[in-house]
Chain A
Amino acid sequence: DVKVTQSSRYLVKRTGEKVFLECVQDMDHENMFWYRQDPGLGLRLIYFSYDVKMKEKGDIPEGYSVSREKKERFSLILESASTNQTSMYLCASSLIPSSYNEQFFGPGTRLTVL
């Protein structure tokens, strides 16, 4: 079974803090993704990576950066957290090639920025 783990289930940070969200997958997947989930907006793609050290912007990259130094690990960085970044953050991974592009998700990190 594919396992995607995220470093924290719940996180509370203050405005202006630098925040690191870590994601690790154990199935040697090439693709990794970071989403945020907000009520009424569904899942929105922040950044994705299709290879080590490769990254591409998703639909809402502003205020975020990412790092992928190893294939199994994909980090999301909030350089200076703001209250509008309070959200549920979900990491996912997928294989290349994939018959129907199924992505496997971690349990999520609920981040609150005060």
Chain B
Amino acid sequence: DQQVKQNSPSLSVQEGRISILNCDYTNSMFDYFLWYKKYPAEGPTFLISISSIKDKNEDGRFTVFLNKSAKHLSLHIVPSQPGDSAVYFCAASVRGQGAQKLVFGQGTRLTINP
């Protein structure tokens, strides 16, 4: 039962253009959503988050949009740069027994072409 889904395994974008990564979820109890970026042979690093009570959060070139009625969020990267090439994971926070846990999507591999 995949509570967080990233339906696009890969995405290829031209340098300077906008990259849009999508994520869908099923659990209405998620209180925060996070995006992580992962380079090969490294651990994921936190990129940006959004509270479930917000619909937009912006940090420099990165903006996350949340549509609660559709249970959908997206990460926009503008403009895209070659260093943005990585795997991006969407994650949702839920309070479980003893600790808050993160539920991750499958990941989307973003490739920025020069």
Q: Which of A's residues lie within 8 Å of B, judged by CB? A: 4, 9, 30-31, 33, 35, 40-45, 48, 50-51, 54, 56, 58, 90, 92, 94, 96, 98, 100-108, 110
Whether the pair B100, A98 counts as a contact (CB closer than 8 A) is yes
Shortest Cβ distance from A104 into B: residue: B46
For the A-B complex with A105-B45, A106-B43, A110-B41 known, give 4 more contacts whose Cβ atoms are closer than 8 Å.
A42-B4, A51-B98, A54-B98, A104-B46
Whether the pair A43, B42 counts as a contact (CB closer than 8 A) is no
Q: Which residues of B contact A50 (CB under 8 A)?
A: 98-99
Assign chain B's interface to a size class.
20 to 34
Whether the pair B89, A42 counts as a contact (CB closer than 8 A) is yes
Q: Which of B's residues lie within 8 Å of A, judged by CB? A: 4, 6, 9, 31-32, 34, 36, 41-46, 49, 51, 89, 91, 93, 96-107
Beyond A31-B99, A56-B98, A101-B100, whether A108 also contacts B106 by CB under 8 A is no
Beyond A42-B107, A43-B89, A101-B32, whether A107 also contacts B42 by CB under 8 A is yes
Whether the pair B43, A4 counts as a contact (CB closer than 8 A) is yes
